[in-house]
A and B are shown apart, each in its own frame.
Chain A
């Protein structure tokens, strides 16, 4: 069995999953929560890698697509009483549908115009929740997937359960995307990103490829949004700010924007920064001015430094055909 074949990847993913789940029983609740955060961010970042790193389109509004997925999952569970795994999948599906519409518009728009549209989207979509009462308004809708099933064992804290669910979803997502990117779709996207004119001349339907990429990327973002809702226990407009969209891009760049495996690295860095800056400020002792602005400062400096010195991400073992 070749190491790169889908079958091999599948077993490797299972192995990684098993190791992680084993570890989860040994760490405290806070780390479980953070682990779940990392897994969810990794999924969200992978959606950016797919869209930007592979098909060359930019979106500043993926936070809004996460919101679409999150709200869909919550609504479906509370109004239709569907079990939460289905709710997650529907969150992804609705996100994908939104991405399809957006992708059609996006295919006609060039770089900065697309950026502008997605920027307006990031601000406009979450505030729609205030328009329609069914969307819960400012304080949002609660989302409860319940605790771990009894057959898993006792002493399974809520956060550990979230960690399991998120990790399983992240592994599945990674496996699916990795396989997809090594098919002809992946090759088409890379061709479009590198040189759309040449790609078109080579017979690739550029518009179609772009729309497909946008749709899939949004579906992944929608899935991430549903899991995010699970973790927070609610969806609310304020949970999906413009900052979230910018954070996703930051994570993607830190990882190497065309490096799918790097999504984890980006996610870890994003979750680690507030922790690290918190330790720094508690050791140095700072005024409130410092403590509240330091995380943002560190993230921004990191972002600028990364894009300046390592635009393709840190020296991560890279595949030849990237």
Chain B
């Protein structure tokens, strides 16, 4: 009797469960935060005001322009992308405050392109506890690729260590025997670079650290120049932001060293248009400098990505000059759209993260570097090409216009590999179809 009753109860329970499951699976999926039937909301924090703003404050508008273009052509799986932009004035405290707003009040689906190392660090706890995907952060700090510490964060740009190693190889191949000086920021940005140069085995006749943002003081620049002169360096690597590059150019010009000292500029500080704006009539002083980049030159008229982004910029971002910042913004936006498409018709934060890990390495982007996203790695780009700045401030590849040689490596001890640059063809009209 007991057995019968228990069995009856068991069968009843099983049936109830089965029915419940069927019913539940037929219900519409619970809408994810930031995703509605018609929109997907994304958020970005960037310095719009303050000393660090010049140049970077153009990125959000460029991203928005590309999103508008995609929205006008069907959006992502029928949804339009909305970008909420917040200013953090480069202060990590403010980054956290406005990111609180983005995640808790505006309820964005994901963050994209957030800028600054300390700034991103400040929002890590919030992002991790809410499982918010943080796509393509705008910094070269290699630490963010650590999947255990930052499970939902995807850096994009190659780390500074990678860049330094690539530069070291370029110097060894093309400038052997020269006396090289290095100017770098005295923080993790610079430390990452030093690590890379050490691995590459580059030796310097002078190593000149400086505090970030102090390049505005003429005495600091004066010190750079006297150090260069006293070490008799004929080559100087400037591993700093654009305003520091401008300051160095001005200092070398003042000392009559233009043409006598070869400048090599890191990717962070080599944006031609910004430099032209900073230097004004002195801009030609930079001609002949060697610059490292991973995106094509904004002036390359043969590049299909550049031409498409230029068109989008003219149509959806009127008034903005097309420069490196716009290129960076649109490239990031293009990758974001592909990520959102791959996240499925009912995207969730988890499905977005998984999509990037599974398919991110196959996506189209303007960079000549492969993308390494996988279930085991959150490292994005890994390589650079080297160009010479022309009188117009834009870089042309050292191998000739349109011919890019890529230097790829990692942040660790792997060697630097030189290959002919190749990248996926751009989807038709620059509209992702993944």
B57 close to A (CB within 8 Å) = yes
Nearest CB in chain A: distance from B42 CB, A: 17
Partner of B100, one of A30, A243, A278: A30
B211 close to A (CB within 8 Å) = yes
Interface of A: prevailing SS: helix
Partner of B125, one of A137, A144, A278: A144
Nearest CB in chain A: distance from B91 CB, A: 5
A142 to B57, CA, bound (A): 27
B93/A30 in contact, CB under 8 A: no
A238 close to B (CB within 8 Å) = yes
A127 close to B (CB within 8 Å) = yes
Chain B interface: which of A97-105, A186-194, A285-293? A285-293
Chain A interface: which of B171-179, B182-190, B353-361? B182-190
A168 close to B (CB within 8 Å) = no
List chain B residues, Cβ under 8 A from A138: 117-118, 185, 187-189, 212
A140/B49 in contact, CB under 8 A: no
B91/A241 in contact, CB under 8 A: yes
Chain B interface: which of A207-215, A216-224, A228-236, A257-265? A228-236
Partner of B187, one of A139, A158, A291, A292: A139
A130 close to B (CB within 8 Å) = yes
Interface of B: prevailing SS: helix
The size of the chain A interface, using a CB distance under 8 A, is 32
Partner of A236, one of B49, B85, B118, B185: B118
Q: Which A residue's beta carbon lies closest to that of B61?
A: A288
A144 to B188, CA, bound (A): 21
Nearest CB in chain B: distance from A172 CB, A: 24
List chain B residues, Cβ under 8 A from A142: 121
List chain B residues, Cβ under 8 A from A274: 97
Partner of B57, one of A130, A233, A244, A288: A288
A101 to B235, CA, bound (A): 46
Nearest CB in chain A: distance from B139 CB, A: 9
B6 close to A (CB within 8 Å) = no
Nearest CB in chain A: distance from B60 CB, A: 8
B125/A158 in contact, CB under 8 A: yes
B57/A137 in contact, CB under 8 A: no
A241 to B101, CA, bound (A): 22
B25 close to A (CB within 8 Å) = no
Nearest CB in chain B: distance from A280 CB, A: 15
B121/A238 in contact, CB under 8 A: no
Q: Which A residue's beta carbon lies closest to that of B87?
A: A292
List chain B residues, Cβ under 8 A from A130: 186-187, 211-212
Known: A138-B118, A232-B92. 8 other contacts (CB 8 A): A30-B104, A37-B97, A138-B188, A233-B122, A233-B125, A236-B118, A239-B91, A274-B97
Q: Can you give 25 contacting A-B residue pairs, CB < 8 Å?
A: A30-B104, A33-B104, A137-B191, A138-B118, A138-B187, A139-B117, A139-B141, A140-B121, A158-B125, A232-B93, A232-B96, A233-B96, A234-B118, A236-B121, A236-B122, A238-B91, A238-B118, A239-B91, A239-B93, A239-B118, A241-B91, A288-B61, A292-B48, A292-B87, A292-B89
